[in-house]
């Protein structure tokens, strides 16, 4: 089996100081606006280029192609990509296995240096990557900034966490022995990220895998392969050896299933829909001929997230929080607020203020930094509009409700609010993944908590109240992986808000937290008699 020679470009370096989250740009400053417009123009000149598969460090072309489109202007091709098929799964696996022989035995400081180098490159090219996010998935400037900043945070945070894990000690040293606890890599992992955080989530799962000594077969979403290709270029510039991450856009039904089912795949890290996540979990659980381990799955599978607004809350603050959480990135976040439960005494005034706030939101091309851009593709738009039609029958439409016709054919939908929705209505139970908010009247705080827990999901939630007893009760009884008190339910920050959910929201992986890297390792206890 071939070995991988580490390039001299990776010079071991350790993080300086404690972890600090990457700062966001303030676009009230003219200079930042000018720089972003320049970045957009720079990236616009690169649209439509072709990208190869990267397997074992080699570029490969295929007959089949994937064309990534700008959802704000679907006639505009962002990137053309080779389409990996089932026949490429074995090739990618062998390249990853070969790289694992060396990478798994590489000292942690060198692996950490790769992440730190990548983080610095991203920091220097931050607005360029923001522009790619704007073109490929329709993020406005602030949403794109948050995505790239989170990626930089993952580089810095997981680097520090890998060093901490390498210094792990057993709680007890037995007399006459030297006792060690070693966290060793698992093997080759399949990383299958979503399109909605195509840089941060894709990079986060990949970085956690490789900093702990694993190698990866990366299958990005067919809606956002260009951003993943650009990230591979960053890793290569940072000094990544060939085969450590193998870039393979392709169909989930062919390449994806083949790599999940491969007997040498050791783990699968996935973020996406519940249906696909459960299928991956089932496929990974079937033992294949020659397989000698139980495959590990790290799954994040969506949510139906609620914000409970109590009668004693600051209504204006709650309206702002709900609007931001429901309509940021057009509701295309697994953490997005899709249900707002309002206590009866403030229900009518809350609706009026929410209607007025939503009316202020602008919808259009995110390159022009509108509040809301497009949904990701035509199929998503049709699905969302179908839910809106269902919502018209299940409640009272008070805002939005229509697609927005535009000359560019962009997949634009008005921010939509449907009031008087029953807790068990379809639009109150199923994940819509678009700019649609169901508003539910509750008679009491207790009823609000009960409604908040009545779905099969358990990802994020929030409560607005000035009552300390209610806040404490929510801490205990609001059953979600990420609970926010008197703030919106989106915007998790690496280090501060380890992210992952309960029930059908996934395996509660807690990305960006101190436990995450453990999911990509196995603990080995060593005892030596002295």
Shared domain check, 297 and 353: no
Catalytic residue among 310, 334, 337, 489: 334
DSSP state of 252: I
The three state secondary structure string of 434-452 is CCEEEEEEECCHHHHHHHH
| Distance in angstroms (rounded) separating the CA atoms of residues 124 and 118 | 10
Residue 491, token pair as written in the block: 């915007």
Q: What is the pLDDT of residue 12?
A: 76
- 59: its two tokens: 């570029």
Co-location of 178 and 263 in the same domain: yes
The pLDDT of residue 16:
81
Looking at the structure of the chain, the number of domains it has is 2
Same domain, 296 and 412: no
Q: How far apart are CA 505 and CA 338, in angstroms?
A: 14
Q: What's the angle, vertex CA 503, arms to CA 420 and CA 320, rounded to 5?
A: 40
Distances (CA, A) of 17 to 156, 233, 491, 494: 11, 27, 25, 16
Query: Residues 398, 351: contact at Cβ < 8 Å?
Result: yes
Q: What is the span of the domain harbouring residue 321? A: 305-494
Q: Quick check: is 469 catalytic? A: no
Query: Which bin fits 510, alpha (ψ -120 to 50), beta or left (φ > 0)?
Result: left
Torsion of CA 499, 502, 508, 511, to 10 degrees: -10
Does residue 126 contact residue 24 with C-beta atoms inside 8 Å? no
Residues 339, 343, 348, 352: what is their CA dihedral angle, to the nearest 10 degrees? -50
Tell me, yes or no, whether 6 lies in a domain: no
Are 287 and 326 found together in one domain? no
- Whether residue 311 lies inside any domain: the answer is yes
- Report the SS3 class of residue 507: coil
SS3 298: strand
My answer on whether 232 and 321 are in the same domain is: no
Phi and psi for 529 in degrees, rounded to 5? -75, 130
Q: Looking at the structure, do residues 97 and 169 belong to the same domain, yes or no?
A: yes
Mean pLDDT per block of 10 residues along the chain (530 residues) reads 49 83 97 98 98 98 98 98 96 98 97 97 98 98 98 98 97 97 98 98 98 98 98 98 98 96 98 97 98 98 97 98 98 98 98 98 98 98 98 98 97 98 98 98 98 98 98 98 98 98 96 98 98
Q: How many residues does the chain have?
A: 530
- The full 3-state SS of 257-320, as one line of letters, equals HHHHHCCCEEEEEEECCHHHHHHHHHHHHCCCCCCCCCCEEEEECCCCEEEEECCCCCHHHHHH
How far, in Å, CA of 204 to CA of 153, rounded?
9
Closest among 154, 278, 153 to 209, alpha carbons compared:
154
Whether 15 is covered by a domain: the verdict is no
Letter string b/e over residues 432-454, b meaning 16 or more CB atoms within 10 A of that residue's CB: bbbbbbbbbbbeebebbbebbbe
Let me know whether 337 and 484 are in one domain.
yes
What phi and psi, each to the nearest 5 degrees, are found at residue 108? -65, -30
Residue 14 lies in a domain: no
| CA atoms of 87 and 208, how far apart (whole Å) | 27
Question: What is d(CA 231, CA 150) in angstroms, rounded to the nearest whole number?
Answer: 14
Tokens of 305: 């997230």
What is the secondary structure of 76-95 as a DSSP string?
EEEEEEE-B-HHHHHHHHHH
Distance (Å, whole) CA 300 – CA 337 = 17
In this structure, is residue 254 part of a structural domain? Answer: yes
Which tokens go with 133? 């996010």
Q: By three-state DSSP, how is residue 419 classified?
A: strand
334 is catalytic: yes
Q: Which residues pair with 65 in a beta bridge?
A: 82
The CATH number of residue 449's host domain is 3.40.309.10
Does 480 lie in the same domain as 335? yes
Residues 68 and 83 reside in one and the same domain: yes
CA distances from 243 to 3, 54, 61, 179, 218 (A): 10, 8, 17, 34, 11
Helix (H, G, I), strand (E, B) or coil at 332: coil
CB atoms within 10 A of CB 471: 17
Task: Name the one residue in this structure whose structure tokens are 């295929």.
Answer: 62
Of the candidates 327, 295, 326, the one whose C-alpha atom is nearest the C-alpha of residue 309 is 326
For the record, the structure tokens of 441 come out as 């009247």
Query: 80 lies in a domain?
Result: yes
Please check whether residues 213 and 193 belong to one and the same domain.
yes
**CATH number of the domain where residue 47 is located:** 3.40.605.10
Q: Which of 285, 207, 291 is nearest to 520 (CA)?
A: 207
The catalytic position among 156, 300, 343, 414 is: 300
List beta partners, residue 270. Answer: 192, 299
Q: Is residue 133 part of a domain?
A: yes
Residues 392 and 449 in one domain: yes
Residue 11 lies in a domain: no
Strands (E), 72-146: 73-82
Does residue 211 contact residue 517 with C-beta atoms inside 8 Å? yes
96 with 213, same domain: the answer is yes
């Amino acid at each position: 089996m071939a070995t991988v020679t580490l390039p001299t470009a990776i010079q071991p370096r350790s993080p300086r100081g404690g972890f600090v989250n990457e700062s966001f740009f303030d676009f009230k400053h003219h200079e930042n606006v000018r720089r972003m417009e320049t970045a957009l123009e720079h990236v616009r000149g690169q649209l439509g280029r072709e990208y190869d598969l990267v397997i074992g460090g080699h570029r490969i072309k295929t007959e089949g192609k994937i064309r990534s489109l700008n959802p704000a202007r679907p006639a505009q091709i962002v990137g053309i990509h080779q389409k990996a098929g089932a026949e490429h799964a074995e090739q990618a696996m062998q390249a990853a296995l070969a790289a694992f022989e060396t990478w798994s035995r590489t000292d942690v400081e060198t692996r950490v240096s790769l992440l730190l180098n990548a983080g610095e490159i991203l920091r220097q090219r931050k607005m360029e990557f923001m522009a790619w996010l704007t073109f490929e998935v329709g993020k406005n400037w602030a949403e794109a900034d948050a995505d790239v900043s989170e990626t930089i945070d993952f580089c810095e945070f997981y680097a520090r966490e890998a060093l901490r894990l390498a210094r792990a000690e057993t709680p007890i040293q037995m007399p006459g022995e030297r006792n060690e606890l070693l966290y060793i890599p698992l093997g080759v992992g399949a990383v299958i990220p979503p399109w909605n955080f195509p840089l941060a989530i894709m990079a986060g799962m990949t970085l956690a895998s490789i900093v702990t000594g694993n190698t990866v077969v990366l299958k990005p979403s067919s809606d956002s392969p260009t951003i993943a290709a650009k990230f591979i270029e960053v890793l290569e510039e940072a000094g990544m050896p060939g085969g450590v991450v193998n870039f393979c856009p392709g169909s989930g039904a062919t390449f994806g299933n083949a790599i999940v089912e491969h007997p040498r795949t050791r783990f699968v890290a996935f973020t996406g829909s519940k249906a696909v996540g459960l299928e991956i979990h089932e496929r990974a659980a079937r033992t294949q001929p020659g397989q000698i381990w139980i495959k590990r799955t790290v799954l994040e599978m969506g949510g139906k997230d609620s914000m409970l607004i109590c009668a004693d809350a600051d209504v204006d603050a709650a309206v702002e929080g709900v609007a931001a959480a429901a309509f940021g990135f057009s509701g295309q976040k697994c953490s997005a607020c899709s249900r707002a439960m309002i206590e009866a005494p403030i229900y009518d005034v809350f609706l009026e203020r929410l209607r007025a706030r939503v009316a202020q939101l602008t919808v259009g091309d995110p390159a022009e930094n509108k509040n809301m851009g497009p949904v990701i593709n035509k199929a998503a738009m049709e699905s969302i509009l179908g839910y809106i039609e269902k919502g018209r029958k299940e409640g009272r439409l008070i805002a939005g409700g229509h697609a927005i016709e535009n000359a560019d054919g962009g997949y634009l939908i008005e921010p939509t609010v449907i009031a008087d929705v029953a807790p068990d209505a379809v639009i109150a139970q199923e994940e819509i993944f678009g700019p649609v908010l169901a508003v539910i009247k509750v008679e009491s705080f207790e009823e609000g908590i009960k409604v908040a827990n009545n779905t099969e999901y358990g990802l994020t939630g929030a409560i607005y109240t000035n009552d300390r007893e209610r806040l404490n009760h929510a801490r205990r009884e609001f059953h979600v992986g990420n609970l926010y008190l008197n703030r919106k339910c989106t915007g998790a920050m690496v280090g501060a808000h380890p992210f992952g959910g309960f029930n059908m929201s996934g395996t509660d992986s807690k990305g960006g937290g101190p436990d995450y890297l453990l999911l990509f390792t196995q603990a080995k206890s060593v005892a030596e008699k002295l």
